[in-house]
Structure 1
Amino acid sequence: MTPRFKRLGETARATVTIEVDGKPVTALAGDTLMVAILTAGPTLRQSEFGDGNRAGFCLMGACQDCWVWTASGERLRACGTSVSEGMSILTRPPEAPWNLV
């Protein structure tokens, strides 16, 4: 899988491990979720409206294209949320408890 972003500098920062869709992703302290996810793979998330893969757009929190979710269901803007050790992120909306069969 070819990452969308390639880190060119600032490689001496401390590493942080987060979980994205159940898989470990290594980021650097100070990275946003968007940078961490797109440095690890080609897409940021799946659209909840069925129009395919998304990779963010404006990079400043205005376009609404970078929403990801915590395991507990909280929505976060990946472009403006800094990584922290142990975060567990989903790239698709979590199943609502009332929607499970």
Structure 2
Amino acid sequence: MPETIQLSVNNHALIVPAGSLVSTAVFLADQLAFRRSVTGEARAPLCGMGICFECRVTINGEAHARSCQIVCQEGMEIRTDE
């Protein structure tokens, strides 16, 4: 297994350690808000175990993925609501 992988967060290239969670990659990309609530409030991971759904992002075009539950893969394209 490679030690690092390359992916993109909001169209910015990023290299992360292999085995990192998508939520970690988003934080490493300096994205503090993962999505916006219906009232426009910035939201970010809360529970870290997929229950709160605050960590939702779009991965490779598929919306509402729980980033705290998904391991990063080479070439992954991650989008937040920011």
For these two proteins, the number of residue pairs brought into alignment is: 81
- Which SS does the other structure have where 1:79 is aligned? helix
Where do 4+ consecutive residues of structure 1 move more than 4 Å?
none
Query: Which one of the candidate residues 66, 71, 82 is aligned to 1:82?
Result: 71
When the two chains are superposed, the root-mean-square deviation of aligned CA atoms in Å is 2.1
**1 or 2, which has the higher strand percentage?**
2
Q: Return the alpha-carbon distance in structure 2 between the equivalents of residues 64 and 29 of structure 1.
A: 24
Relative contact order: is structure 1 or structure 2 higher (C-alpha 8 Å, sep ≥ 6)?
2
Q: Return the alpha-carbon distance in structure 2 between the equivalents of residues 42 and 75 of structure 1.
A: 17
Query: Which one of the candidate residues 51, 61, 73 is aligned to 1:72?
Result: 61
**1:18-66 CA distances to partner (integer Å, 9 max, x unpaired)?**
1111111221111100011112214141215243322210000000100
Q: TM-score, normalised by structure 2?
A: 0.83
Q: TM-score, normalised by structure 1?
A: 0.69
Task: Give the gaps of 5 or more residues in structure 1.
Answer: 1-12, 93-101
Residue 89 of structure 1 and its aligned partner are, at CA, apart by 1.0
Structure with bigger gyration radius: 1
Task: Give the gaps of 5 or more residues in structure 2.
Answer: none
- Which SS does the other structure have where 2:58 is aligned? strand
